[in-house]
A and B are shown apart, each in its own frame.
Chain A
């Protein structure tokens, strides 16, 4: 267990290009941090700097308050799970997991090694495969062996480098929840690199969004979603992603290409004096005007639009509105697209409608948008003008409390199972029962978090 402090870390390659530029993050003991960003944003480099596989050009890396910049990977006592597993093909699963223990010569007796490996294998349901070679295992099993190698040695922290990107979608979901529960049960500090949004949002206590080597924002998933600091974070987090509409502000009326929106005064005030702003509207802020409850209606603005087409998904449906921006606005959208690493941002708005909505493409229909939630962005700097830092910080504090609670619950469950197994011959049976109980507990906790969000 350890805290990790990244203090103005910089990584420059030979050509002077900063792959990681002045990143500072405080990772608390037991925290699960996600590094996320488009490819080439430096997230993997940052992870490899932490573990010691890349040199640190500038800045300090502290583990438990001690500067480790110059320590070799093996002296940092961190465990890493690689994207392509990096199992030793000439060793059996047992020896693969035991590998770190064997390297620490003299520290563990043969019985201790045996016990640690069997325990780790039991946790990961690998007991039946211990004598097999990695080549004969499925992708998910290989991933678990890689994880076994990490958990067997009581490392100070776990580092994951896109561990699930090689698995198929179904297995990915399953392994995701396994990693999450394992992290809670062990209460071990974890840093996890991914480009997958779902992984970022579901696993992380806090998520660090990186772009071109720079930290854009680090906050709980909810804060990122509800109070993004800038255009990039707003556009990167969420699927389908946030719609950006160029608009001019007149009083409290936003003039956009899809219609005029009346916005609350305090939001309008933040953008006072700006000629052009970008309005950020998440698809789910829209609704079919006919289906909006009367009590909610005053909180938003209604406008008429023609959808090009709709996609019905069962629980909801997506509608698409294309709009024709003014030429100078188009320029703005294009530069925004480059910013987001896309070729071209299509002048299109995605709206999420209730599944029962009868709005179809080609007809003009009434749409309602919740103007309390939309954000205004500075067209030049991309900064979020309407961000409520206080509310955001509150969300992240909440997440931190939830985490502490979850770890406590998971470890209580573990403690119970340990006393159970120490008790008698039926320990093993009871053990697995408590583990199951812990699992369902974890799942409910996660579910609770979801509904809160």
Chain B
């Protein structure tokens, strides 16, 4: 099937370029906008007018007026997303392992419930949650966001990881047990190292979900105590009421994109599949 003729290569190159333009154009546009002065925003050009490119938008959100709003939101976003991801991955790993390996009553129920929760529209839960959180004192706290984020990240984590665990040959674990390992040791020494790429992939997906959330972020917070970046962006204001804060928002958007890009670059190696090759024949 591998037909490495020049024509094929050219074809693939064209497709790649098209997809890249499609995917990266909005990012490039925002990047360009983030360097524009407020007066330049409506120029209708892609790049800032020559000579007017400015970093004032970044200064504004990092050290200027909007600093309090943006930096605390960034801290909240990082903290909440990381904690939610970590908890989701640990719970999902154990849960998915049980689902992949054990035959217990209610296994189907757990899986379908997880699926049902993940397809449940967020907007329909947010009002009851708002009332509930206010009553029990979770409104506008980190925990108040981490819990709903878990409901978003856990189902998808369980599904991805369960699929991953199913690929790991059971014999490996049994071999480890025969070799003298306890169930826990077999899990830790034979299964976890093999599941690592799956765990990383899942963690990244979970992180993105928590990082990108807007509805919970804006509904369940009221102050800088817990407001995450996507929600905080909505509170940006221009220098005067006649000025739109597009530049600052673009700058903030670029900054919040950076961790995501970094994550993918860092874990690129772990995400590659095929680590299990060589365990068993065929």
Residues of A within 8 A of B (CB): 51-53, 72-74, 78-80, 82-90, 99-100, 103-104, 133-137, 139, 142, 149, 153, 166
From residue B180, how far is it (CB to closest CB) to chain A in Å?
A: 4
The distance from the CB of B139 to the nearest CB of chain A, in whole angstroms, is 45
Whether A166 touches B281, Cβ cut-off 8 Å, given contacts A74-B179, A74-B181, A80-B175, is yes
Interface 9-residue window, one of B59-67, B109-117, B245-253, B270-278: B270-278
The answer to whether B257 has its CB under 8 Å from any CB of chain A is: no
B194 within 8 A of A: yes
How far does the alpha carbon of A133 sit from the alpha carbon of B274 in the complex, in Å? 13
Known A-B contacts A85-B280, A86-B280, A90-B194; the reply to A103 vs B180 at CB < 8 A is yes
B172 CB–A CB distance under 8 Å = yes
Q: Is the beta-carbon distance between A82 and B276 smaller than 8 angstroms?
A: no
Q: How far is the CA of A360 from the CA of B222 in the complex (A)?
A: 99
Interface check B185, CB cutoff 8 A:
yes
Contact of B179 among A103, A134, A137 (CB under 8 A): A103
**Cβ-defined contact, B280 with A51, below 8 A:** no
Measured between alpha carbons, how far is A80 from B178 in the docked complex, in Å?
A: 7
Given the complex of chains A and B, what is the CA–CA distance between A319 and B179 in angstroms? 51
Whole-angstrom distance from the CB of B166 to the nearest CB of chain A? 16
Task: Report yes or no: A72 in contact with B177, Cβ–Cβ below 8 A.
Answer: yes
Residues of B contacting A53 in the complex (Cβ-Cβ under 8 angstroms): 174, 177-178
A79–B178 CB distance below 8 A? yes
**A169 CB, min distance to chain B CBs, angstroms:** 16
Binding site for A on B (CB under 8 A): 169, 171-172, 174-182, 185, 189-190, 193-194, 275-282
Which 9 pairs show the lowest CB-CB distances between chains A and B? Answer: A135-B278, A84-B280, A86-B171, A86-B175, A134-B278, A100-B179, A89-B279, A103-B180, A90-B193
Q: Which residues of A contact B279 (CB under 8 A)?
A: 85-89, 134
Q: Determine the distance from Cα of A151 to Cα of B179 in the docked complex, in whole angstroms.
A: 11
Provide the residues of chain A in CB contact with B178, threshold 8 Å: 51-53, 73-74, 78-80
Q: Find out whether the CB atom of B171 lies under 8 angstroms from the CB atom of A84.
A: yes
B175–A82 touching, CB < 8 Å = yes
Q: A86-B174, A90-B194 are in contact. Are A142 and B281 (CB under 8 A)?
A: yes
List, in ascending order, chain B residues with CB within 8 A of A73's CB. 174, 177-178
A84, B280: Cα distance in complex, Å: 5
Inter-chain contact B281/A89, CB cutoff 8 Å: no
Distance of A204 Cα from B176 Cα, bound (Å): 27
Chain A residues, CB < 8 A from B278: 87, 89, 133-137, 142
Q: How far is the CB of B53 from chain A (nearest CB, A)?
A: 49
Q: How far is the CA of A103 from the CA of B189 in the complex (A)?
A: 10
A99 and B179 contact, CB distance less than 8 A: yes
Shortest Cβ distance from residue A333 to the other chain B in the assembled complex, whole angstroms: 38
Nearest-CB residue, chain B, relative to A76: B178
Which residues of B are found within 8 Å of A78, using beta-carbon distances?
178
